[in-house]
Structure 1
Amino acid sequence: MATIEPKSETAADEPTTGRTVLPGAPPFTVDDLLKFPDDGNRYELCNGSLLVSPAPKKLHQLALYQLQRILDEAAPPELVLLSTVNLRVSAHDLYIPDFVVATEESLHTDELMFSPEELLLAVEVGSPSTSIRDEGFKALAYAKAGIPAYWRIDLEEEPVLYVYELDDDRYDAPAVHKAGAVAHLTTPFPVGFDPAVLIRGRR
């Protein structure tokens, strides 16, 4: 992955081979983020600090496809299912969940950003580079933002689904659903599936 460096007065005159030079300087704002280059990385903000993730791998993309297919069959018509949306929490906090369930009305507000109150569910599919982040402060951030439910999908061995539900301003300890058994879920709407199907090819 490329080295990420904020742009400074001298950086513009330096060779940039093998580096991505970013406009602005920390602490970054959401407006700064909109000026970043499209270099294949995913840029998020936590309290003005950059979170950088590489492009998702094949298994990650398959899991998201299968999840969207499953949820699309069960979702009521007034909800929309989307991947990799911009979630603006504050001027210095922006996240890009792998997948969300949002209200239909949210499509008619800001064209670039979702706000937390428009989301009913945020989903992150873990990878070795993001698993600690997803389990730790992503769960804290989504809870603090008031998102009613958060699912974390671990693909390290067999798929495992961790389901968090909001209790006041924090999530309860997650319910753990392992591959080989159907997870019967009720939030944000009733749906049941075996996490193992998330990494099976299209049938």
Structure 2
Amino acid sequence: MTPHPSLPDWVFPPPEGFVAEDLDHIPDLPAHTELIDGSLVFVSPQRDFHNMVIFRLRVNLEDLVPAGHEVRQEMSVKLEAQQRPEPDLIVLGPGAVIGREISCFKAEDVVLAVEVVSPDSEVRDRERKPVLYAEAGIPHYWRIEEINGRPAVFVYEIDPATKSYAITGIHHDWLKLTVPFDIDVDLNKLYVARSR
């Protein structure tokens, strides 16, 4: 196949697919591009709900994480050779290597991965990403959905016997947990829609 002259070369993946390290070397790659199953996934513009829930949850988590833990927003995680998704939020454990030159984190450094579901990411956030995160050993996963204009948090914990996530709760008004650390968040304050 001859590449179209107006498209960049990276639009056409190599026959074996892309690998995680390719994301650091492809020129002019759009921000927040993910690698899932060797294919580049481009993110649509965020909705207000998505943006505010991520921002306010991050502020809450930064106040709650234990010493040595860090919260990061929209940073990719290398799960394996052809898997480098970008969760909306992650909590890193004390052993994570952090620095200005870091462009992605290792799966073993992630304690919690959080995805806020958008219309264009429903299948990835509900089906594919949880499988990838669990297979990589990330112990906790939260999926946040908009239900009746408010956030609902679906909380999952990895089952060591099956290496897959088991749901441990669905939280609509308040998120109060003891794992992966003590968490107490008023979900009604994460997003308040205002109409004119």
2:175 counterpart residue number? 183
What residue is the counterpart of 2:91 in the other structure?
Answer: 101
**Number of the residue aligned with 1:111:** 102
- Counterpart of 2:189 (choices 171, 176, 197) is 197
Is 2:167 the partner of 1:173?
yes
Letter in 2 for 1:170: S
Q: Identify the residue that residue 54 of structure 1 maps to in structure 2.
A: 44
| CA–CA distance in structure 2, aligned partners of residues 90 and 47 of structure 1 | 10
Structure 2 residue 26 is matched with structure 1 residue 36: yes
- Counterpart-to-counterpart distance in 2, 1:107 and 1:77: 15
Q: CA RMSD in A?
A: 2.3
Query: What amino acid maps onto 1:79 in structure 2?
Result: H
Match of 2:153 in 1: 161
Structure 2 gaps of 5+ residues are none
Q: Which runs of 4+ in 1 moved over 6 A?
A: none
Letter paired with 1:132? V
> What are the equivalent positions in structure 2 for 1:61-100 lying under 5 Å apart?
61-100=51-90
Which of residues 136, 142, 147 in structure 2 aligns to 1:151? 142
Gapped regions of structure 1 (runs ≥ 5): 1-7
1:95 alignment partner, SS class: coil
1:151 alignment partner AA: W
Deviations 1:148-199 (A, max 9, x none): 1001111253211100011111000351111xx3221122211112322111
- Sequence identity, in percent? 29
The offset of 1:111, in angstroms, is 2.1
